[in-house]
């Protein structure tokens, strides 16, 4: 069985039998290594235009390990534009491989990840309430990002039912303001991170004040 392969090629784990006729004999054996392809993906879409105070939804698609090999430390993450929105709830979606994962989050007052949900099944689509009130956050505290942490995932690991995120737009935003929501995905192969990012830009719409009524 092969113990080491060239960079970007996978190990051939098939045992190879050879016969040795005398002590110290050198026997050569040939094997073909398959080239490795590493790739991850995520796509994020949302509302292109919103009004202050509105509830909005972000949809995720294409989350997956498209590699020809397993990845470790696999995750996908959403980074929120906290000057414009507050996280309300997360729809977890489902995935094509049975297992469990963890959802963690950070806030503007803490750089350490806190656990939002543990032992979440990849086979069950759940709604997790994540509003400031539900999380018991301080009045000046808000979620800045959350991350789904899967650990080791096999080749072709991917979402089935789409995850979604619901947020509330802050009421004090001015018309014409734009905010960006960013999502990223990643995993490790052979000590190297394989990552991808997507962004969605939303514009705040605020109708002009009506003209004053005039009399005759």
**Span 55-91, pLDDT tens digits:** 999 999 999 999 999 999 999 999 999 999 999 999 9
β-pairing verdict for 178-189 and 71-79: antiparallel
Please name the fold of domain 44-204.
Immunoglobulin-like (2.60.40)
What is the pTM (predicted TM-score) of this model? Answer: 0.80
The reported pLDDT for the residue numbered 27 is 56
| Nearest CA-CA partner of 64 in 90, 36, 37, 96 | 96
Asked if 37 and 67 touch (Cβ cutoff 8 Å), the reply is yes
Question: 93 by DSSP, 3-state: which?
Answer: coil
């Amino acid at each position: 069985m092969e113990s080491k392969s060239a960079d970007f090629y996978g190990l051939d784990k098939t045992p190879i039998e050879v016969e040795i006729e005398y002590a110290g004999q050198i026997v050569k054996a040939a094997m073909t290594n398959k080239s490795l392809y590493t790739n991850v993906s995520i796509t994020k879409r949302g509302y292109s235009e919103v009004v202050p105070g509105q509830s909005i939804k972000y949809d995720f698609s294409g989350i997956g390990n498209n590699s020809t090999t397993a990845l470790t430390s696999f995750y996908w993450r959403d980074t929120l534009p906290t000057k414009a929105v507050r996280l309300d709830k997360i729809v977890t979606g489902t995935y094509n491989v049975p297992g469990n994962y963890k959802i963690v989050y950070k806030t503007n007052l803490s750089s350490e990840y806190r656990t939002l949900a543990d032992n979440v099944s990849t086979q069950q689509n759940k709604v997790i309430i994540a509003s400031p009130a539900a999380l018991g956050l301080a009045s000046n505290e808000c979620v800045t990002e959350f991350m789904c942490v899967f650990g080791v995932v096999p080749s072709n690991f991917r979402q089935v039912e789409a995850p979604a995120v619901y947020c509330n737009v802050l009421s004090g935003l001015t018309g014409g303001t734009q905010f960006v929501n960013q999502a990223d995905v990643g995993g490790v192969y052979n000590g190297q991170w394989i990552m991808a990012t997507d962004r969605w830009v939303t514009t705040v719409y605020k109708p002009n004040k009506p003209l004053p009524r005039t009399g005759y």
